Chain A
Amino acid sequence: MQETASNPKTTLTPAAFHILLALADGENHGYAIMREVAEHTDGKMRLGPGTLYGTIKRMLADGWIEESDERPDPQLDDERRRYYRLTGVGLKLVRAEAERLEQLVNVARGKRLLPHSGSVR
């Protein structure tokens, strides 16, 4: 089943959300995305190469990300690397998902499952 970016009911898989998040502050290549995801999650989420490129393939098809035409300087990095960046739709989706998660965190705070922001345990 292929969900399209224009479907408001689109739900992001954890891998897709983390990849979009990793691309939120600029274009990047596959391995750097993988490392950033591992860093963001304290190593709890480890994307394998297949998960990474399978998700990238679907996100490219759905128009959430696009491949950058630019290539790195061959002296600084491998020029065969492909770089990816967010599209407008991808940015909307990652923002909407972040807001949804923020709402959930607020609910958890309201139920005292989490400390209020700024408060000390």
Chain B
Amino acid sequence: MLRVGSGCSPIPDLSGNSQAAWIMNNISSTNSLSVSVRIYRALLVAYPKKFREHYETQLVQVFRDSFRDEYHRRGMSGVIDLWLHICVDLFVTALMERIMEGSQFMFSPKVILWGGVAGVFSGMFWMMMGLAPSTGGAAIVLALVLGLGGLVSLYSRQAGRGGRLGLAGLALGIIGTVLELATLWWFVTAFSGSTYIEINSRIEREPVLAARVTLIMFLAFVTMGIGLALLGVASLRTKTLPRWRGLPLGMGLLNILLGITGWLIYYVPLSQGRNPWNPWNPGDYVVPFVVTVLLGLGWIGLGTMLATEADAQIPVAQPPPDSA
């Protein structure tokens, strides 16, 4: 059954001057109502278009009913109070709706798919870096930039269920990547040279600066690794990956390992005034190269899974038991 009734007050049974006053009062209320409704309707532009299209009539109707009620109960002071309340409500809810609209895009299969594809390419560049270190500079930049897509795809796959852990993982992953790119740029500008000998001589001239840059670089790797590991834990807890659920956690740990080995191999000698690149001994770099190749394989696997199963349903928990 529908329960009928708006907030509209009926014309009271008055006579003479009282009725005239009531009518005058009502005319004034009608004028301020139509102005207020116009203003409120204009303010609704703050909401996302989709929300506005669906609820504009209802929002205006509720506003109109509230206005009439407040005006008849408390006069202009009620209207002012209503407007204050409406402004706060509109600001907060419009912001929320816009954030939610953005997050809906963030959790869409399209983001998972293209982020996964970026992850696959990132993996290829990681492998290239491990198997052909001479491609170093360009390969690492591409691996890192495309890896951002992979991180977003992994977070998106959690569809918001990763909670603060997933969000912290994504944030640390992005911070680590950006820091890594920035220090790479710093390293290249500080120690650039047309030949290997020239670069080496610059590093040997300023070992303290080189040590600082490499320290930040490997801290960035560790930060990225912690981010990926947190995303991995969130994926494990929420069971949002169709298979290989431990893979992101493993990749995060590999990233941390890469940061630690890099710190030992590059930072420690530099901080002691030695150049780790001179003499170049490939045997010293076996561990980071193996880790880099494994990371590449991990990204290729994870990216492929994310891209190919972007539309896969996430299993949900059972409904609560009927407490009736």
Taking Cβ atoms with an 8 Å cutoff, the residues of A that contact B are 1-2, 4-10, 26-28, 30-32, 34-35, 46, 48-54, 57, 68, 70-73, 76-78, 80-83, 89, 92-93, 95-96, 99
Q: Evaluate contact between B61 and A48: CB separation under 8 angstroms.
A: no
A38 to chain B: closest CB distance in Å? 10
Q: Evaluate contact between B6 and A73: CB separation under 8 angstroms.
A: no
Question: A-facing mask of B295-324, CB < 8 A → 1, else 0?
Answer: 000000000000000000000111110111
| Given A31-B66, A50-B89, also A81-B61 (CB < 8 A) | yes
Taking Cβ atoms with an 8 Å cutoff, the residues of B that contact A are 1-7, 47, 51, 54-55, 57-59, 61-63, 65-66, 69, 85-86, 88-90, 92-94, 96-97, 103, 107, 159-161, 163, 316-320, 322-324
Q: Evaluate contact between B5 and A32: CB separation under 8 angstroms.
A: yes
- The residue of chain A having its C-beta at the shortest distance from the C-beta of B159 within the complex is A2
Q: Evaluate contact between B316 and A4: CB separation under 8 angstroms.
A: yes
| Given A30-B62, A31-B6, A53-B55, also A95-B316 (CB < 8 A) | no
- The residue of chain A having its C-beta at the shortest distance from the C-beta of B94 within the complex is A50
A-B contact count (CB 8 A): 112
A50 to B96, CA, bound (A): 10
- List 30 A–B pairs whose Cβ atoms lie within 8 Å, in order of A's numbering: A1-B161, A2-B160, A6-B317, A6-B318, A7-B316, A8-B318, A10-B320, A28-B3, A31-B62, A32-B3, A35-B7, A48-B89, A49-B59, A50-B93, A50-B94, A50-B97, A51-B89, A51-B92, A53-B59, A54-B97, A57-B55, A72-B2, A72-B4, A76-B4, A81-B61, A83-B2, A89-B319, A92-B322, A92-B323, A93-B320
- The residue of chain B having its C-beta at the shortest distance from the C-beta of A10 within the complex is B320
Q: Evaluate contact between B3 and A26: CB separation under 8 angstroms.
A: yes
A34 to B89, CA, bound (A): 14
Q: Which 4 A-B pairs have the closest CB atoms?
A: A48-B89, A50-B93, A1-B160, A31-B65
Q: Evaluate contact between B51 and A57: CB separation under 8 angstroms.
A: yes
Q: Evaluate contact between A77 and B5: CB separation under 8 angstroms.
A: yes
Q: Evaluate contact between B62 and A49: CB separation under 8 angstroms.
A: yes
Chain B at the A interface: mostly helix, strand, loop or mixed?
helix
A30 to B2, CA, bound (A): 13
- The residue of chain A having its C-beta at the shortest distance from the C-beta of B62 within the complex is A49
A49 to B7, CA, bound (A): 14
Given contacts A27-B1, A48-B86, A49-B59, list 20 more A-B pairs with CB under 8 A.
A1-B103, A2-B160, A4-B316, A6-B317, A8-B317, A27-B3, A28-B3, A30-B62, A31-B66, A48-B89, A48-B90, A49-B62, A49-B89, A50-B89, A54-B96, A54-B97, A81-B58, A82-B58, A83-B2, A96-B320
- The residue of chain B having its C-beta at the shortest distance from the C-beta of A47 within the complex is B89
A9 to B319, CA, bound (A): 10
A9 to B190, CA, bound (A): 53
Residues of B within 8 A of A89 (CB): 319
B182 to chain A: closest CB distance in Å? 31
Residues of A within 8 A of B160 (CB): 1-2
Q: Evaluate contact between B62 and A34: CB separation under 8 angstroms.
A: yes
A72 to chain B: closest CB distance in Å? 5
A72 to B4, CA, bound (A): 7
A51 to B247, CA, bound (A): 41
Residues of A within 8 A of B159 (CB): 2
| Given A1-B161, A92-B320, A99-B323, also A50-B57 (CB < 8 A) | no
Q: Evaluate contact between A8 and B320: CB separation under 8 angstroms.
A: yes
A72 to B62, CA, bound (A): 16
B281 to chain A: closest CB distance in Å? 50
Residues of B within 8 A of A2 (CB): 107, 159-160
Q: Evaluate contact between B55 and A31: CB separation under 8 angstroms.
A: no
- The residue of chain A having its C-beta at the shortest distance from the C-beta of B95 within the complex is A50
| Given A49-B63, A49-B66, A92-B323, also A68-B7 (CB < 8 A) | no
Q: Evaluate contact between B319 and A53: CB separation under 8 angstroms.
A: no
Q: Evaluate contact between A53 and B320: CB separation under 8 angstroms.
A: no
